[in-house]
Amino acid sequence: LAKTTQPISMDSYEGQEVNITCSHNNIATNDYITWYQQFPSQGPRFIIQGYKTKVTNEVASLFIPADRKSSTLSLPRVSLSDTAVYYCLVGPQNTGFQKLVFGTGTRLLVSP
Amino acid sequence: EAGVTQFPSHSVIEKGQTVTLRCDPISGHDNLYWYRRVMGKEIKFLLHFVKESKQDESGMPNNRFLAERTGGTYSTLKVQPAELEDSGVYFCASSQVDGTTTDEQFFGPGTRLTVL
């Protein structure tokens, strides 16, 4: 499974847009890019997934360039409740047999 | 709809004792996974059930760990005998794949295991 590299931590203020970039230089053709969010004392929670270009849902946007060697999770107008650890994962999808490979994640701290 | 539940939320035991963790997946989910994070480390995969069958147990650290999923519903993870290095948070997740979704995994809150 492709290894991912992302910032260890980021700080932001409420109302700002936060972009977290993940590098995955060895991504395979059939790999998807998935982001999970984890709050303290909770399990990880799926945020968004994409294969190429741009994906948007009610929580975030995911930007993936043509070479797919990196991706950027964009959180619009963050609030204090967005303080969490964000994990970028890469692997095949829709196989039913995917074990998630977590890296160190990016610890986002949102301040007033 | 109830999410993935885990019991207990926290367990403190002495080295050499036995502990059994339980996970109740989302109803109808055939896939059940166990993960754990030991102190200062990343979340690591332990094993994967499809219904009652072990699909992948490549992440199980050693034979002191035994996972079961009798009947294909809830699952238990027993550690016997527990060692200090087993301390950490054990997560359970479940998913259902129907070929059209992103097979998102739904995680429980975790069980924090402390071995003294």
The predicted pLDDT at position B115 comes to 97
Is the pLDDT at B70 greater than 90? The verdict is no
The arithmetic mean of pLDDT across residues B20-40, rounded, is 94
Closest Cα in chain A to B6: A43
Pick from B55, B106, B107: CB nearest A97? B55
Residue B69: which pLDDT band, with cuts at 50, 70 and 90?
Answer: very high
The arithmetic mean of pLDDT across residues B60-85, rounded, is 95
Pick from B43, B104, B110: CB nearest A46? B104
Q: Please list, in sequence order, all residues whose beta carbon lies within 8 angstroms of the beta carbon of residue A3, skipping any fewer than 6 positions away.
A: A24, A26, A103
| Contact assignment for B33 to A99 by CB distance below 8 Å | yes
Residue B101: which pLDDT band, with cuts at 50, 70 and 90?
Answer: low
The predicted pLDDT at position B72 comes to 85
Average pLDDT, consecutive stretches of 10 residues, N- to C-terminus, chain A (112 residues): 88 97 93 94 94 93 96 96 96 72 94 96
Q: CA–CA separation, B41 vs B36, rounded Å? A: 9
Q: How far is A83 from chain B (nearest CA, A)?
A: 17
Q: Give B55's contacts in chain A (Cβ within 8 Å).
A: 97
Residue B39: which pLDDT band, with cuts at 50, 70 and 90?
Answer: confident
Q: Which residues pair with A87 in a beta bridge?
A: A36
Q: Give B93's contacts in chain A (Cβ within 8 Å).
A: 43, 100
